[in-house]
Amino acid sequence: MVEPSEECADRIHLALSQAPGCHSDEIVLLTDEAGQILDANESAAAAYGRDRRGLIGLNVGSLYAPEAVPAATDPGQTRESLHVRADSSTFPVEIHTAGLEAAGKIYSLSVIRDISDRKRAEASHQAWKRSAEANQQTNRLLQQLSIDLLRSQDYEKRKIARELHESTAQLLAALSINLGLLRDADLEPSQRSKLLSETIDVASHCSQEVRTLSYLLHPPLLDDLGLRGALQNYAQGFHQRTGIELKLTIPPDFGRLDQGLEMTIFRIVQEGLSNIQRHSGGALAEIRLERDSREIRLDLLDHGRGLRATSVPHEKEPFRLGIGILGMRQRAERLGGTLEITSTDIGTRLTITLPLPKSGDDQA
């Protein structure tokens, strides 16, 4: 190691102790052209966990963490790096280097600042920023789900209103007309008997429509018989109303589920069968329901024309999804489940997977 002359050393040591902009807790190192440390202040000794004299003679490169390879720094520039203490722990630093010339030799004076607090603050800010962005994304998702839910509810209301208008209201109008005709005292007995029979039929149909709508709003058998019994009953009624043959596969030991979970599955089946009736054009549909210790799997299959692909494929599924399927998806996602669609020109399969509650209390 080439040491400066005594006069030069005094001048350098003075510069070292009075490094411009240097605070008492900042590290100051004096190195020669080869990178050997010629002098260091007491803050350097404290920061690196070494005796001050133990620093002198080391190559400055030994102060860098293995993953932080020293790089040449032009005088006057500031850069960040990672330094290592005597106990092998690391800390981030900001290094500002200035050149000194004495007795024809070039030295480097480095002012080094421990920026651990700043890095922690930056990391905390980034974490807060990510959290804020995640919260914004969650809020946007909740807003969209709220909009979709309102749209789905509006769709359900319009569907029930249409049923009431197109069927029940007309039956009630016919019933009112017939009752008005029956009030005619001059009506022939045979005509009265025929009209009375027709009126009874209309009243019977009206009663059946009301029961059907009531069942759509809330199936009473779901509370009494559970999901398996309610679906069996609904499947029979669906076949009678639509003529579509329905194959229902549910294990005999399927058991009861949480009330909310049973209702969700029942509503999904209702909406799925409604879609099949409106769009599939097939004469056969299937419902398969099974469970294990972790989840429930529901498959709805039709043997119809399949879903029509969109001109711009969706990220996950290239199908034109109607409000019915979107409503089914929302019901599944509200319980942490998923809905997947597979469609070909010979039919469509909807697979709904719903997680079971971790507690087995509701799964008798």
Note the pLDDT tens digit of each residue in 261-276: 998 899 899 888 888 8
Q: Looking at the structure, do residues 96 and 130 belong to the same domain, yes or no?
A: no
Cα angle 267-271-276, degrees, rounded to a multiple of 5: 145
Alpha-carbon distance of 157 to 112, in angstroms, equals 70
The model's pLDDT over 20-54, given as tens digits with 9 standing for 90+, comes to 445 567 899 999 988 999 999 989 999 999 988 88
Q: Looking at the structure, do residues 362 and 236 belong to the same domain, yes or no?
A: yes
Q: Looking at the structure, do residues 17 and 103 belong to the same domain, yes or no?
A: yes
pTM above threshold 0.75 = no
Q: Residue 166 carries which DSSP code? A: I
Selection from 229, 277, 282 nearest residue 256 by Cα? 229
Q: Which of 195, 217, 239 is the last residue of a domain?
A: 217
Is there a domain that residue 1 lies in? no
Structure tokens at 361: 């209390």
Alpha-carbon distance of 287 to 239, in angstroms, equals 13
- Is pLDDT above 60 for 69? yes
Q: Which of 161, 193, 217 is the last residue of a domain?
A: 217
pLDDT value of position 333: 87
How many domains does the structure of the chain reveal? 3
Per-residue pLDDT band for 86 (boundaries 50, 70, 90) equals very high
Least confident of 30-44, 105-119, 275-289, 299-313: 299-313
Is there a domain that residue 165 lies in? yes
Phi then psi for 302, rounded to 5 degrees? Answer: -125, 160
Number of neighbours of residue 194 by Cβ within 10 angstroms: 12
Question: Which residue range forms the structural domain that includes residue 71?
Answer: 6-114
Q: Looking at the structure, do residues 245 and 305 belong to the same domain, yes or no?
A: yes
pLDDT value of position 311: 34
Q: Looking at the structure, do residues 28 and 44 belong to the same domain, yes or no?
A: yes
- Is pLDDT above 70 for 146? yes
Per-residue pLDDT band for 289 (boundaries 50, 70, 90) equals very high
The model's pLDDT over 169-215, given as tens digits with 9 standing for 90+, comes to 888 898 899 899 888 888 888 888 999 999 999 898 888 888 777 76
Is there a domain that residue 288 lies in? yes
pLDDT value of position 16: 54
Residue recorded with tokens 């850069």: 79
Q: Which of 52, 81, 114 is the last residue of a domain?
A: 114
The full DSSP string for 141-163 is HHHHHHHHHHHHHHHHHHHHHHH
The H or E element spanning position 197 is: helix 189-217
